[in-house]
Amino acid sequence: MSEKQTDFGTLSEAVIAELKNLGYMDSSLINYRRLYARLGSFMEDHSIKEYSPTVGNAFIRSERLIQDFLY
């Protein structure tokens, strides 16, 4: 089975568009855009071309995002 690959920028904008269609507030969309921009920069800085859960976990650890949610 072949999987279609989409670049991260296109994927994140599609997610934002869907959140907007679902009625998310503009302030929430701004926060998602900021988060995706940081994740995109992380991927570029580490020469990562394709998002995966492993990439997401590395990003969370690097940004200490887990601590933000725990405290």
Alpha helices in 1-71 (DSSP H): 8-21, 26-45, 53-63, 65-70
pLDDT at 64: 76
Residue-level pLDDT, tens digit, the chain, 71 residues: 445 667 899 999 999 999 999 999 999 999 999 999 999 999 999 999 888 889 989 998 888 766 655 55
Q: Against a cut of 0.85, is the pTM above it?
A: no
How far, rounded to the nearest angstrom, does the alpha carbon of residue 3 sit from its chain's CA centroid? 20
pLDDT at position 67? 62
Tokens describing residue 67: 């601590």
User: Domain extents for the chain?
Assistant: 8-70
